[in-house]
Amino acid sequence: MSLWGGRFTEDLDPFFKQFNDSLPFDYQLVEQDIVGSKAWATAICEAGVISEAELTDLKAALDELLNEVRSGQKKITDDTDEDIHSWVERNLIEKVGQLGKKLHTGRSRNDQVSTDLRLWCKTTGEMLQDNLKDIQQTLITIANDHTDTIMPGYTHLQRAQPISFGHWCMAYVEMFSRDLSRLRDALYRLNFSPLGSGALAGTAYPINRESLAQNLGFNAPTLNSLDAVSDRDFVFELISAASLSMIHLSRMAEDCIFYNTQEAAFLSFGDAVTTGSSLMPQKKNPDGWELVRGKTGRVLGALNNIAFLLKSLPLAYNKDMQEDKPCLFDALTTWQNCLVMANQCLINIKVNKDNMYKAVLKGFCNATELADYLVSKGMPFRDAHDVVGEAVRFCIEQNCTLEALSIEQYQQFSDLIADDLYPWLDPLNAINQRNVTGGTAVNQVRNAVDFWQTQITQADKVVIRDARMTDVNEIHDIVAVWTEAGDTLPRTKDSIIHDIQDFVVAEDLSNPDEPKIIGCASLYIYQTGLAEIRSVGITPKAQGKRIGQRLISRILRHAQAIRLNKVIVLTRVPEFFGKQGFVPTAKESLPEKVLKDCEACPRKDNCDEFAMELNIGKYAVGFTEVPLDMKTGTIRTAFVES
């Protein structure tokens, strides 16, 4: 269907139509377009364009269309409409006839697409904030375990001074905090509604744009219609934020790839995030990190793309702007995937403390401490620098470390050196000498861990994380509540202990002295590769706070990262999982589940559970979370092809 054409008498050239159509990529805005259309229907009803009865019919038809989209009944990309706006309008007209043609009164595709795109950016941005906080939390957890794990710090890729591995982790926490700040700033600036700006000059109908903006969850309406329909600053800003964050991810990937080499052997990563060689059986390759590093160029390319696209465009709308969406969608989806992948690699990290420590000693990383020792004895630093250089050269010739030299050997370089030198050369003492704000001293790293943990938990008092053995009792208690209610199968403590690595939990940190687990969920993988979400439970007092959606989202991100094809669930609350993108399926199609649990279930012959599935194998490249309700911020997970 075309939204224009009265002026034209000839059909489009087939190649031009294909060249002109944007449905193959802007279909991703379908839910935003329907949400925006519902809000516009309300606005034109308040303006007297349609009646209350017509508004009711339009909203019912749009809701029906939305449900069809979410359930997969509508295959958008199979159609030949010009764009997602014409697709929605055609389907609406099929449902309500001529009434559907009234919806576009006073509205242009120019303000419509800008609105849709901002709504998509808002909800994708919310998910990206969660991703950034996830990776920060993982790094903070690792840092807390390694505040005194000594490793060499590098400059010019040469061993320089000893630092703690926790200090290295916290450096990236700082970087991602700036990424989070830039993302939030960009989201604030885009949170203004262009709807009602028309093609470029505003609308001739008495639309209450303030109410319309509020209805869509925006801060306020835009104040200049000409700018509103042509503004793509927010696209540039988001891709710019993604680009800089990807640079940070790429730097971390490069560090981890280097630390993972046999030459360094500081870090290794689990089988879940590494691959082997088709020829060399001994190989274990850090492909997750290498792909993160490689995909950085893809996002940086998108930044160049949008910059060249917007350069020299006259006001107001130009068809060039149609090309903003492929680079935006790809850049943010790639960013999100890389954040998930990097976090998964960090979760699977193994730290070789011994190799790190040996590298510190072999690399003369404590040479500066020797110079500081001489300064403490009254020697000018420049002279001390020369003395230490001579000592290091001597050690290289003798193939030994600074610690191995005797006092007699040291005194050939300076008679100021005495028996009190050796404590200065101890690497742990060396890092603790850097006891200034931001330094690598153990207590300074702990301060940084505490500070950033507080920053994250102040913004979000509930953290979604992988379960630990210390959580077993609380997980068991939560599962028991819903077992008694008849909503989930019972789990013994032994079974939870055995499967603890399959669980994620929601931890309430509102009282830092008494953190408590308020939700849990697990992902069970059958031998066939089918995966099932099980043991989902939220404490009664914590319900209604989007914790369930966040738990499921975390599990689905993990399922995507390890390339699962399908995730299933048997549930008595199908509407909840429907909001997460699951669709009904036949229980008979799940033989693994039937054999594993159903035969032993006391309700086997009178089962009231619904079987649902989410096929993610086809969509393993990327996904975003989109809102069901812009006012409440209720979230579902919708997978979209890149």
* Of the residues 72, 102, 132, the one at which a domain ends: 102
Across-strand partners of 517? 507
Cite the DSSP H helix spans in 377-441: 381-398, 407-410, 422-425, 427-433
Residues 386 and 526 in one domain: no
Structure tokens at 218: 């925006």
pLDDT band at 8 (very low <50, low <70, confident <90, very high): low
Residues 120 and 47 in one domain: no
Flag the least confident range among 53-57, 64-68, 552-556, 624-628. 624-628
Structure tokens at 57: 């019919």
Report the pLDDT value the prediction gives residue 635, as an integer from 0 to 100.
29
DSSP structure class, residue 496? H
Residues 139 and 275 in one domain: yes
* Of the residues 398, 426, 454, the one at which a domain ends: 426
Residues 149-165: tens digit of each pLDDT: 999 999 999 999 999 99
CA distances from 401 to 390, 418, 636 (A): 13, 17, 58
Residues 255 and 179 in one domain: yes
The amino acid at residue 273 is: V
Across-strand partners of 269? 349
Flag the least confident range among 14-23, 214-223, 439-448, 612-621. 612-621
Select which of 156, 278, 312, 406 is catalytic.
156
* Of the residues 67, 102, 137, the one at which a domain ends: 102
* Residue 58 CB-half CA count within 13 A: 28
Report the pLDDT value the prediction gives residue 6, as an integer from 0 to 100.
66
The whole-angstrom separation of Cα 118 and Cα 113 is 8
Across-strand partners of 268? 350
Residues 408 and 498 in one domain: no
Q: Compute the average pLDDT of residues 471-487.
A: 89
CATH number at residue 179: 1.20.200.10
pLDDT greater than 80 at residue 392: yes
Report the pLDDT value the prediction gives residue 574, as an integer from 0 to 100.
85
Kindly state whether residue 3 falls inside one of the protein's structural domains.
no
Kindly state whether residue 328 falls inside one of the protein's structural domains.
yes
Tokens 């909503």 correspond to what residue? 487
Residues 126 and 263 in one domain: yes
Residues 112-139: tens digit of each pLDDT: 999 999 999 999 998 999 899 999 999 9
In this structure, are residues 284 and 274 in contact, taking their beta carbons and an 8 Å threshold?
yes
Kindly state whether residue 446 falls inside one of the protein's structural domains.
no
Q: Compute the average pLDDT of residues 311-315.
A: 93
Kindly state whether residue 351 falls inside one of the protein's structural domains.
yes
Kindly state whether residue 451 falls inside one of the protein's structural domains.
no
156 has catalytic annotation: yes
Structure tokens at 259: 């630390």
The whole-angstrom separation of Cα 472 and Cα 478 is 10
Residues 526 and 597 in one domain: yes
CATH number at residue 378: 1.10.40.30
Average pLDDT, the chain: 88
Q: Which of 425, 465, 428, 457 is nearest to 445 (CA)?
A: 428
Residues 163-207: tens digit of each pLDDT: 999 999 999 999 999 999 999 999 999 999 999 999 999 999 999
CATH number at residue 570: 3.40.630.30
Q: Compute the average pLDDT of residues 513-540.
A: 89
558 has catalytic annotation: no
The whole-angstrom separation of Cα 148 and Cα 165 is 7
Select which of 277, 376, 495, 510 is catalytic.
277
Residues 313 and 260 in one domain: yes
Q: How far apart are the first and last CA of the chain?
A: 25
Kindly state whether residue 455 falls inside one of the protein's structural domains.
no
* 3-class secondary structure per residue, 118-135: HHHHHHHHHHHHHHHHHH
Q: Is the peptide bond before 586 cis (omega within 30 degrees of 0)?
A: no
Sign of CA dihedral 191, 192, 198, 200: negative
Number of domains in the chain: 4
The amino acid at residue 512 is: P
pLDDT band at 484 (very low <50, low <70, confident <90, very high): confident
In this structure, are residues 340 and 557 in contact, taking their beta carbons and an 8 Å threshold?
yes
Residues 486 and 388 in one domain: no
In this structure, are residues 205 and 47 in contact, taking their beta carbons and an 8 Å threshold?
yes
Kindly state whether residue 59 falls inside one of the protein's structural domains.
yes
Cite the DSSP H helix spans in 231-318: 233-260, 287-310
Across-strand partners of 584? 612
* b/e 597-613 (16+ beta carbons within 10 angstroms → b): ebeeeeeeeeeebbbbb
pLDDT band at 582 (very low <50, low <70, confident <90, very high): confident
pLDDT band at 580 (very low <50, low <70, confident <90, very high): confident
* Residue 52 CB-half CA count within 13 A: 0
Kindly state whether residue 411 falls inside one of the protein's structural domains.
yes
The residue count of the chain comes to 642
Q: Which of 525, 545, 624, 533 is nearest to 573 (CA)?
A: 533
Residue 570 structural domain: 463-639
Residues 115 and 97 in one domain: no
Q: Helix (H, G, I), strand (E, B), or coil: what is residue 577?
A: helix
Residues 125 and 70 in one domain: no
Report the pLDDT value the prediction gives residue 631, as an integer from 0 to 100.
31
Report the pLDDT value the prediction gives residue 447, as an integer from 0 to 100.
94
Residues 259 and 143 in one domain: yes
Q: Helix (H, G, I), strand (E, B), or coil: what is residue 100?
A: helix
DSSP structure class, residue 195? T
Q: Helix (H, G, I), strand (E, B), or coil: what is residue 638?
A: strand
In this structure, are residues 547 and 521 in contact, taking their beta carbons and an 8 Å threshold?
no
